[in-house]
Amino acid sequence: MSVLDIVDVSHAYGPKKVLNQVNLRVGAGQIMALIGPSGCGKSTLLRAVLGTHPPTFGQILVGDCQVTAPNRDVGIVYQHYSLYDFLTARENVAFGLKLDQTSTPFRVFNYFGWRKLRKQHLEQADDFLQKVGLGAARDMYPNQMSGGMRQRVAIAQALIMQPKILLLDEPFGALDEAMREELQLMLLQLYAENVQAREENRTPPHTIVMVTHELNEALFVSDRVVGLSQYHADGANGATIVYDRPAPVFKPDEPKDISRFVEQKEELIRCIFSAQFQHDHLKFVTFWDELEKQHEEAAGSP
Ligand SMILES: Nc1ncnc2c1ncn2[C@@H]1O[C@H](COP(=O)(O)OP(=O)(O)OP(=O)(O)O)[C@@H](O)[C@H]1O
């Protein structure tokens, strides 16, 4: 099931063309890493999906709806956390539900209704904090937490709104290596929830597109890696997709065995940075074909 469809999207800032004919379909439950050289337009693409910068040409669909402005189907977490310092972790996580489901007159004039709802919101916030491994820190304020904890709260804050798609823009870029690894494991936990949902014939709950500069991270946490880079047969400016292949899937309790993706990392680097490989770039835009082949093989196996 497709959650995000980017159809022939181009974007320019004034005369500067940044994206050129980007086509991408993301299915429910995929965790996709988007990588590319600095300044190639990754954040521009995320902003177009978020709806703050609709594309100059083409269209973006989330579910069946065209994105023309920010909406609750698309969540985002940035590199620098944006929590309210005067709210505890659980209050921060519950904040979006409060805005979404109540108004000031409701809270003032329907005190008991609001109190009941508030209790439910905080309970839901506790569940989401548990999901991101922060069950014990629910009453802490942001300034009492480490950077990694704050980023987990920000992710819980986005997840509680149950967006159809969650965008992560360099979410772990400001964290040290150890914390970064912890958060990567947290993403693998979310992916494991997707796997379980599929096994139980439910729609996988988490569809994520993550921009990262770290290739090991991209290959470790995602089940699909997409490379964006400048290349066009017609010489037009602007980046397009030059790489789109499945990534190895890890379980949260498995060791991070880099040897499993060392070859793919080399392939990715060549596709994104080498003009010679980009010339043949369609050879590496094969995600959906490879997935179909995997399904056929699985269906054919005894
Ligand atoms: N609001 C804007 N107005 C004009 N130019 C912009 C604007 N935002 C981005 N750009 C330019 O568009 C290009 C793509 O920027 P973008 O931030 O999307 O790239 P990126 O791949 O996310 O970069 P990085 O990896 O360094 O974060 C850059 O050359 C940037 O200078």
Say if 245 falls within a structural domain.
no
**pLDDT for the residue numbered 273:** 83
**pLDDT for the residue numbered 233:** 66
E strand segments, the chain:
2-13, 16-27, 31-35, 57-62, 65-66, 74-77, 165-169, 208-211, 224-230, 239-246
Q: How far is the CA of 212 from the centre of ligand 1 (A)?
A: 15
Which residue of 40, 52, 53, 237 sits with most ligand 1 atoms within 8 Å of its CB, as the best mutation to test the pocket? 40
The atom of ligand 1 lying closest to the CA of 36 is: 21
**pLDDT for the residue numbered 199:** 94
d(CA 54, CA 106) in angstroms, rounded, equals: 34
Q: How far is the CA of 75 from the centre of ligand 1 (A)?
A: 20
User: In the chain, helix, strand, coil percent, each to 5?
Assistant: 45, 20, 35
**pLDDT for the residue numbered 74:** 96
Is the pLDDT reported for residue 31 higher than 90? Answer: yes
**pLDDT for the residue numbered 84:** 93
Q: What would the mean pLDDT of 200-224 be, rounded to a whole number?
A: 94
Report the Cα–Cα distance between both ends of the chain, in Å, rounded.
26
Is the pLDDT reported for residue 302 higher than 70? Answer: no
Query: pLDDT band at 301, cuts 50/70/90?
Result: low
**pLDDT for the residue numbered 283:** 86
What's 54's domain CATH number? Answer: 3.40.50.300
Vertex 103 angle, CA 101 and 108, to 5°: 125
Q: Which residues line ligand 1 (CB under 6 A)?
A: 13, 16, 18, 36, 38-44
d(CA 10, CA 177) in angstroms, rounded, equals: 35
Nearest residue CA, atom 16 of ligand 1?
Answer: 41
Query: pLDDT band at 6, cuts 50/70/90?
Result: very high
Say if 74 falls within a structural domain.
yes
Say if 301 falls within a structural domain.
no
Say if 104 falls within a structural domain.
yes
pLDDT, mean over the chain: 90
* Among 29-33, 206-210, 259-263, 278-282, the least confident range: 278-282
pLDDT, tens digit (0-9, with 9 covering 90-100), for 220-277: 999 999 999 987 666 678 899 999 999 998 998 888 888 888 999 999 998 888 777 6
Q: How far is the CA of 22 from the centre of ligand 1 (A)?
A: 16
Q: How far is the CA of 266 from the centre of ligand 1 (A)?
A: 25
List the structure tokens of 118.
């508030």
d(CA 92, CA 3) in angstroms, rounded, equals: 27
Asked if residue 14 lies in contact with residue 71, where contact means CB atoms within 8 angstroms, the answer is no
Q: Which residue has the higher pLDDT, 195 or 112?
A: 195
Can you tell me which residue has the tokens 């490989």? 277
* Among 33-42, 81-90, 173-182, the least confident range: 173-182
Tell me the residue range of the domain where 149 lies.
Answer: 2-30+44-224
DSSP codes joined into one string, 147-158: HHHHHHHHHHHH
Is the pLDDT reported for residue 67 higher than 80? Answer: yes
Percent over 90 (pLDDT), the chain: 64
Q: What would the mean pLDDT of 126-147 be, rounded to a whole number?
A: 93
Q: What would the mean pLDDT of 7-28 be, rounded to a whole number?
A: 94
Query: pLDDT band at 102, cuts 50/70/90?
Result: confident
Say if 124 falls within a structural domain.
yes
Query: pLDDT band at 1, cuts 50/70/90?
Result: confident
Say if 243 falls within a structural domain.
no
Q: What would the mean pLDDT of 79-88 be, rounded to a whole number?
A: 88
Say if 262 falls within a structural domain.
no
Say if 299 falls within a structural domain.
no
According to DSSP, the β-strands at 57-62 and 65-66 are antiparallel
* Among 72-76, 215-219, 278-282, the least confident range: 278-282
Look at the chain and report how many structural domains it folds into.
1
Q: What would the mean pLDDT of 188-199 be, rounded to a whole number?
A: 94
Query: pLDDT band at 278, cuts 50/70/90?
Result: low
Percent over 70 (pLDDT), the chain: 96
Asked if residue 219 lies in contact with residue 225, where contact means CB atoms within 8 angstroms, the answer is yes
pLDDT, tens digit (0-9, with 9 covering 90-100), for 139-181: 999 999 998 899 999 999 999 999 999 999 998 887 888 888 9
